[in-house]
Structure 1
């Protein structure tokens, strides 16, 4: 029988606004590099970072919960001018955070 993947917990936030700015810049860079740079990418990155910052300010440290919050709240975002959707954004945020923690996003190690 396979073992469940253990939860990934981020360290408590010392400066959520600074984390949000880092995430916004990294996410926009990822969005621009993945397909083509689009004006909407800045809005997507800003909205995802806002959600992330609010969740961190509320004390959320569980990566899975942060991803669910981003998926849920980004459903209200208008992605009609983008190649992306809420799941792609939440997954990208997860990958960026895992990378920042030194965790291999491919194999969960």
Structure 2
């Protein structure tokens, strides 16, 4: 029988704006490094960060709902000038957050 995915809880936010700035910078760096640096990467990182900050200000601390909120809201973003999609952005945010918590995400760990 397969085991359900364990929930990952972020510490309660004391400064959502600062978290958002970190996420925006980290995500843009990831986007620019993964393929080619593009002007649209800044817009993608900014929009994902806005969603993240709003969710954190509303008290969301669970990783999966945070990533799902970003995925859902990024569906309205125009990715036609990008190599990315809402799925790659949401997954990257999840990976960045796990890395920031020191959680190994390799090999299903």
With structure 2 as the length reference, what TM-score do the two structures score? 0.97
Unpaired segments ≥5 residues, structure 2: none
CA–CA distance in structure 2, aligned partners of residues 21 and 96 of structure 1: 13
Distance 1:71 1:79 in 2: 13
Aligned partners of 1:34 and 1:93: how far apart in 2? 13
User: Corresponding residue for 2:61?
Assistant: 61
The whole-number CA distance in structure 2 between the counterparts of 1:32 and 1:92 is 12
Task: Report matched runs for 1:35-74 at 5 Å.
Answer: 35-74=35-74
Q: Distance in 2 between matches of 1:9 and 1:19?
A: 15
Please give the secondary structure, in 1, of the residue aligned with 2:107. Answer: coil
What's the CA shift for 1:89? 0.2
SS of residue paired to 1:104:
coil
> Offset of 1:107 from its aligned partner?
3.2
Paired residues, number: 109
Q: Which moved further from structure 2: 2-11 or 15-24?
A: 2-11
Normalised by the length of structure 1, the TM-score is 0.97
Partners of 2:58 and 2:48 in 1: how far apart? 16
Q: After the TM superposition, which parts of structure 1 deviate over 2 Å for at least 4 consecutive aligned residues? A: none
Aligned counterparts of 1:4 and 1:21: Cα–Cα separation in 2 = 32
- How far apart are the structure 1 equivalents of 2:57 and 2:97? 16
Matches within 5 A, 1:1-109: 1-109=1-109
Structure 1 residue runs of 5 or longer lacking an equivalent are: none
